[in-house]
A and B are shown apart, each in its own frame.
Chain A
């Protein structure tokens, strides 16, 4: 049976993310007061795994690196139908850039062992680098296809997928084990069901710390990160605004005149 790992990230709720500020001392995110949610694209990655499981049978393992609170999103994935949930959590893992994140997750995938496919979102909603998937693939020695918008599962040896390009797509065949990063066009994620939540209550999350991964503290978190954030500054793109006044009709009339002056009509 296929063993699929889905990487899921806990991100600050995008609806409240504008409240986020950088910690001027540690230069990492101060995110304590914004609730963490499952990264939106990762729902599509999980949905893809669940559909493969329904059609062909698969064992789905959800993997996340994050603070202990990130356990809630792992639990959510188990309620949606994942068979196992693993949280990589250790104070050493904090402050990781994309490289160190990819390394830590790759070590987790290796510890899980005998993995046929790793699914990631194309991007997170907070860092949004798109690096974690491809970098992990290199570290795991797997081929990668990014921006997958359709998975046509073939046999246990290779899959056919469509990878989105600007104004088009590539249809590709990739040999397993492989890593895919997915876009929201791939599927429509299912909603949490009540019975799923009840069942997930009994499931336990496996937590792995630095020692469990058997890697040195120098290779993870802020210490293992090639990049660092050095400064933050405010930006001034201020313009002096003139508000159009009057009734809705009057405002629309004034805007129409502006558009005509601008040569748009």
Chain B
């Protein structure tokens, strides 16, 4: 089959009836890819009471939205959602399918890919169309960037984290076609959600923080880590980390910055005891000032920052904390 004109799909991601920002971001990028291929952008939107999102999705660049608005689809269910998407795919043959690297996408994407017997690239940081019209999927690896393609099987599938692509400025008045997806939907009782529990996140949310501090393996132990926690608190900064900090149990996986974690775009970034590994650094974009503290003057992190401090963070951070405290005291006593 000639896939050249087949559409590009984005699977929309909504939580509690709120459309996640990753969806318009992916639609915006899909629009750019579709213009290169001279094809259309189509979105699959599943949930209940979600028709209010269609305007935003069209404005981001979609031509058509398949809307499954139904009580059976109200909450993400891996088997039901997979089944709906697989059936639609087999009917309409998209050449590309994009999903967010979200709680849902990270589980749904491999389920759909396996059912469709196609390839799936994880946590891409860029997507382009090459001269043959094939999707080039870029991921960071080994200090550089590698390109993965899925040359034969379709759709070409990829997941992308929130914040990798910019939120498109909405094109007002842009409309499109709405196609409603009819049930019945797969009755699935192999998996049941008994309860959904939301827990309060602690600290400043990383995605919106104007200052982000990231701690790494160099913290050494929990005590060293806690100094970094304290620094983030006193500076009102979002606290992120590298993989080893999660592995050591100092920090939650949700706070890992990088390719397979969160993307952040603070004004100020301060990396402490981390080596500037590509997989981490791709998670930081657009910072005005990048600062690093590392005991090794030759660490690659110093090639990627504006301000460098060569010192043992376990000794330096307490001194810095003390200075900040003094400064804050002075400020309050002046007022």
Contact = CB atoms under 8 A, between A and B. Distances in A.
Nearest to A256: B323
Interface in A184-243: 184, 225-235, 237-243
A165 interface: yes
A164 B254 CA distance: 10
Given A226-B153, A231-B146, A170 B303 contact: no
A75 B109 CA distance: 33
B122 A168 contact: no
Contacts of A243: 297, 302, 308-310
Contacts of A127: 122
A138 B115 contact: yes
B224 interface: no
Interface in A91-109: 97-99, 102
A129 B147 contact: no
B103 interface: yes
B308 A169 contact: no
Contacts of A146: 106-107
Given A168-B197, A265-B235, A20 B122 contact: no
A227 B190 CA distance: 31
Interface of B: 78-79, 102-103, 106-107, 109-111, 113-115, 117-123, 136, 140-153, 188-201, 211, 235-237, 243-244, 246-247, 249, 253-254, 260, 267-268, 275, 277-278, 281, 288-292, 297, 302-311, 315-316, 319-320, 322-324, 327-328, 331
Interface string A162-183: 0011111111111100100001
A257 to B, nearest CB: 10
Given A232-B144, A234-B143, A252 B319 contact: yes
A172 B246 CA distance: 25
Given A230-B149, A241-B305, A258-B289, 18 more contacts: A97-B119, A128-B123, A129-B122, A135-B110, A135-B111, A138-B115, A143-B188, A167-B254, A172-B191, A174-B192, A235-B278, A241-B303, A241-B307, A242-B307, A244-B308, A255-B291, A262-B267, A264-B237
B114 A99 contact: yes
Most chain A CB neighbours (cut-off 10 Å) among B102, B118, B307: B307
Contact of B118 (A125, A226, A248, A252): A226
A227 B159 CA distance: 14
Contact of B198 (A102, A168, A251): A168
A7 B334 CA distance: 62
A22 B139 CA distance: 13
A154 to B, nearest CB: 12
Contacts of B119: 97, 99, 225-227
Contact of B324 (A131, A249, A259): A259
Closest 4 pairs between A and B when the two form their complex, measured CB to CB: A226-B119, A227-B119, A138-B114, A134-B110
A64 interface: no
Contacts of B308: 241-244
B211 A130 contact: no
A89 interface: no
A98 B142 CA distance: 19
Contacts of A22: 141-142, 146
Contacts of A14: 243-244, 247
A171 B197 contact: yes
A13 interface: no
Contact of B254 (A129, A160, A166): A166
Nearest to A243: B308
13 contacts: A18-B275, A40-B247, A172-B193, A174-B192, A183-B253, A184-B246, A226-B119, A235-B278, A241-B308, A242-B306, A252-B323, A256-B320, A265-B328
A232 B146 contact: yes
Contacts of B152: 226
Nearest to A141: B190
B148 A228 contact: yes
Contacts of B307: 241-242, 244, 255, 258
A265 B328 CA distance: 8
Given A99-B113, A144-B111, A258-B307, A128 B260 contact: yes
A221 to B, nearest CB: 14
Given A240-B306, A260-B327, A131 B122 contact: yes
Contact of B194 (A129, A143, A171): A171
Contact of A170 (B190, B195, B320): B195
A123 interface: yes
A146 B79 CA distance: 13
Nearest to A225: B119
B192 A172 contact: yes
A248 B303 contact: no
Contacts of A184: 246-247, 249, 253
A4 to B, nearest CB: 18
Contacts of A97: 119
Most chain A CB neighbours (cut-off 10 Å) among B117, B119, B244: B119
B304 A235 contact: no
B28 to A, nearest CB: 22
Contacts of B122: 98, 127-131
Contacts of A230: 136, 147-149
Nearest to A20: B142
Contacts of A242: 306-308
